[in-house]
Amino acid sequence: MQDDLLNMDCRELRDGIAAGRIKSITVAEAVFERIEQYEPIVGAYITTFKEHALAKAEEIDAQITAGKQVGQLAGVPIAVKDVLCTTFGATTCASKILENFHAPYNATVIEKLLSADAVIVGKTNMDEFAMGSSTENSGLKQTVNPWDTSRVPGGSSGGSTAAVAGRLCFAALGSDTGGSIRQPASFCGVVGLKPTYGRVSRFGLVAYGSSLDQIGPITRTVADSALMMNVIAGHDPADSTSVDEKQAPVCDYLEKLDEPVKQLKIAVVPQFNAGAESQVQTAIADAIDVYKNLGAEIIEIEMPHLDYAIAAYYIVATAEASSNLARYDGVHYGHRSENAEDYIEVYSKSRAEGFGKEVKRRIMLGTYALSSGYYDAYYLKALKVRSLIRSDFTKAFENCDCIMMPVSPTTAFKIGEKTDDPLKMYLSDVYTIAANLAGVPAVSIPCGFDENNLPIGLQILAPAFGEDRLLRIARMYEARTDWHKKKPAIV
């Protein structure tokens, strides 16, 4: 019975709970039993909210018994990345500097989940301040990949993807600054969607790169991502980067999900994709063949500035990180050094003790890029390259409905394999970064496995605010394949 429950998708579970066939409290208890069993192995959660979650589940059951209407996610156990502010539990960003910080308000997406009657079961592990591609940079714990516990789950939303893949929740929220939803989704064999910049409110998201960060869903199916988007998408007056719905209306992402896109035209970028491992390239080619057999037209395009995406990203992102993380000074909130003799030492020692090695590295890189004499040579030039990359996408989408490429050059790598080589680690995001620089939506969907039975993800990119079409295109593939139904070793 427990396995049957835990293998349901979000819509099936929600419908069963809303109809009274399944008790929300039964589902919540089953999830926490599984967390107690497998969390010591996977390490997906920083904090769990058993008491809070069970109370919410009982409240939902009482509403249904009383004949009251319930929300779109009624009784569905959801995990959230610990970069989102919640009034319940600490908000740590997996950093010692915020280990005991309790937010005074909920992020907008948290409020939307609660209003939709989701049951939030815990906050997941991540790379510290979302800076990393493997979740090895967490200052608090190590998360492993449920498909192979000797390997990383990807990052920075590794805890969220490991929790979804390992059936430790039904869906999760992550944040994506340069691939932090899509890359771990690929590594863990789940669906990860980065919406258009401005489509989902960032209010209450602890900032890394303010012009790049976007919150998105991590789920087992494309339909569940559409359901999650129905809940979290939309304008928020509290977020100045949130786009007005008059300019870009929010639709029902589930309504036409199963309608194939007619006369679909898919673009590929051969010279850019060539850097992926051969097994990844084969899986992507096979996935594109599925679309070809469905009648899609495949065209080859050139996007000449994608080769500069990594360089531009690691200047723009680190510059914004340098600015955003200046607030953690040991005075206002967060960790404060006990060994300081004056306010300068409070500042320097608190930051030295609280931040991990990778966060310090990125702050220093960003501060250097913004410093006098280097601003024009680095930061300003990176912004110009970003404009050229955005122009590449604009031109490409004039001739196609979507672009397809790998999510990552490799499948999940061994824990510790790249920690001594930051550049090698940064190159893990070579295929995902451009979508953030351009602000366009992109999704990772399971499309195969390598010889080690490790998942491979197909990345699909669409024009800005084209999430409805993007999800329909993704669903076309998912409906004709079984990759998303595969379960990892621990299940």
List, by residue number, the catalytic residues.
81, 156, 180
CA separation for the pair 233, 201 (Å, rounded): 7
Specify whether the CB–CB gap between 93 and 32 falls below 8 A. Answer: no
Calculate the alpha carbon distances from 291 to 255, 414, 479 in Å.
Answer: 22, 32, 11
DSSP label at 143?
A: -
Q: Residue 48's Cα: distance from chain center in Å? A: 19
* Structural tokens at position 189: 């064999």
C-alpha atoms less than 13 angstroms from C-alpha of 173 in its C-beta half-sphere: 32
- Main-chain dihedrals φ then ψ at residue 455, nearest 5 degrees: -65, 150
Amino acid at 430: V
Helix ranges, 246-375 (H): 270-273, 278-293, 309-324, 343-354, 357-370
Specify whether the CB–CB gap between 123 and 116 falls below 8 A. Answer: no
DSSP label at 325?
A: G
Sheet order of strands, 265-268 included? 45-48, 119-124, 77-81, 171-176, 214-219, 191-194, 442-449, 455-461, 402-406, 265-268, 297-300
Nearest partner of 25 among 68, 64, 55, 66, judged by Cα: 55
- Which uninterrupted H or E stretch holds 69? none
* Other C-beta atoms lying within 10 Å of the C-beta of residue 479: 14
